[in-house]
Amino acid sequence: MIQAVGTGDHHHRPESGVPGQRRRRLLLLGAAGLVLPALLPGAARAAGVSRASLTQEGHRTRLALTLDGGLRWELSAQAEPPALLLDLPRGTWHGASSLAAAGCVSALRVANTRTGTRVTLLLTGPIATPRVLSRDSLLMLELRPGGGPAFARMAAAGRLAQSTGPARRPSASLPLVVLDPGHGGRDPGAIGAHGTHEKRITLAVAHELKRQLEAAGFCRVALTRSRDVFIPLAQRVEVARKHQAALFLSIHADSAPPETARHARGASVYTLGETASDALAAALARRENLADKAGGLRLPSVPPEVLSILFSLMRQETRAGSERLARLVVAALDDETTMLPHSHRRAGFVVLKAPDVPAALVELGFLSHPQDEEALGKPAHRARLAAALVQAVQGYLARSQQAALGGAVPGAASP
């Protein structure tokens, strides 16, 4: 049985940072019969951070925290001195009060503030937008060195990420991201050497990405399909257009013909091309577009001249957005997984043809390659890919909102 301790109770808990003192005070309170069962050893844990570790791997530094009891947290950055700030409810940090420096973190400090507990990660210099992975009781921040101006903008922008609370509902004013898990139902998509169906991988990645995006709290998310069902390509595009999505991201896994299957591996990103950028891209576009025929449906036939006029009106702006989105996706994935050479390609995918919604299609790897197939079958790998895509989407939306505000960064004037 779990005795819930409301987050409001933190204010009434002992504030001493010394574990021994804390325990003694709790015991005294216990003797008086005032301690909630959840605070006693052996009972369900109260909300708090029970473990913290700081590790370095290559140019990446990771802070991993074990959170108990649905702890609320909020992450922001500070320009001078460069630091990341993790704000928690008061008295909820039970991890070490300091950790050895690692990678781009020179020191970790924990202090009580007027409103809560602040964990300060002092940085050796500016960092890129941190990746935030939040799953069940694990919160992981992954940090990499980055540019000074981008870091200053990040510090000025306020909250970077926060926990999802039961009371918080997605605001209708947040931009909508439409995720499109490729294939489904009677259309399995590519089939791996060991029998993996593309449609299952795309759906698993889309669900994970949706979860991570919603946890990060900067956008709303809709899926073109949330289960194993066939959805015609044109209908997928319509989902994005009807809801005036800020962006559309189609998720796929690749497959190469037998003669190149041994070598072809890695992720790639596609945007709409008037003519496909190479023969491989053209063949792929044909294959993905054939998905409609697999479902026994045809696209409405529109004369090509009419299409071309309609598209040219809106497409220029949409195209610029799509290209920027694709660049961000390539940069984020490049850090996380093997990439196909010439990672950004152009092809005539039907799902990218909304003239008014910036769109990209990501092929997360080759199911025809044994290593790619094995990796894509692993939830941990899919979670890392999703975290990279979160970073790309966040970067895309941040710039779009900035552009909408006339180039001003919110809060840029304040120190």
Q: Which residues sit at the interface with Zn ion, rule CB under 5 A?
A: 182, 189, 252, 288
Across 348-395, the runs of DSSP E, i.e. the strands, are 359-366
69: helix, strand or coil:
coil
The nearer residue to Zn ion, 63 or 339, going by C-beta atoms, is 339
Q: How many CB atoms lie within 10 A of CB 53?
A: 14
The nearer residue to Zn ion, 201 or 245, going by C-beta atoms, is 201
CA distance 389 to 37: 42
The nearer residue to Zn ion, 87 or 363, going by C-beta atoms, is 363
Measured over the CA atoms of residue 375, residue 380, residue 381 and residue 386, the dihedral's sign is positive
Give residue number: closest CB to Zn ion: 252
Nearest distance, CB of residue 233 and Zn ion, angstroms: 11
Nearest distance, CB of residue 325 and Zn ion, angstroms: 18
For the record, the structure tokens of 86 come out as: 């993790």
Nearest distance, CB of residue 347 and Zn ion, angstroms: 12
Please name the helix (run of DSSP H) or strand (run of DSSP E) that holds residue 239, with its range, or none.
Answer: helix 233-242
- Cα separations (Å) of 185 from 33, 180, 182? 59, 14, 10
Please tell me what DSSP assigns to residue 127. Answer: B
Nearest distance, CB of residue 189 and Zn ion, angstroms: 4
The nearer residue to Zn ion, 126 or 182, going by C-beta atoms, is 182
Across 234-358, the runs of DSSP E, i.e. the strands, are 247-254, 267-272, 339-347
For the stretch 163-170, contacts whose Cβ atoms lie closer than 8 Å and that sit 24 or more positions apart, written own/partner, are: 163/70, 163/71, 163/72, 163/73, 163/74, 163/134, 163/139, 163/215, 164/134, 164/214, 164/215, 164/217, 165/70, 165/72, 166/70, 168/217, 170/214, 170/220
The nearer residue to Zn ion, 130 or 189, going by C-beta atoms, is 189
- Cα separations (Å) of 414 from 77, 116, 150, 152, 157? 13, 22, 16, 11, 10
The nearer residue to Zn ion, 52 or 272, going by C-beta atoms, is 272
Give 290's strand partners: none
Nearest distance, CB of residue 113 and Zn ion, angstroms: 49
The nearer residue to Zn ion, 220 or 382, going by C-beta atoms, is 382
Helical axes 379-404 vs 198-216, angle rounded to 10°: 50
The nearer residue to Zn ion, 315 or 346, going by C-beta atoms, is 346
Nearest distance, CB of residue 39 and Zn ion, angstroms: 52
CA distance 323 to 237: 18
Nearest distance, CB of residue 374 and Zn ion, angstroms: 18
The nearer residue to Zn ion, 168 or 287, going by C-beta atoms, is 287
Residue 368's contacts (CB-CB under 8 Å, 6 or more residues apart) are 190, 192, 193, 254, 255, 256, 261, 264
Nearest distance, CB of residue 252 and Zn ion, angstroms: 3
Nearest distance, CB of residue 284 and Zn ion, angstroms: 8
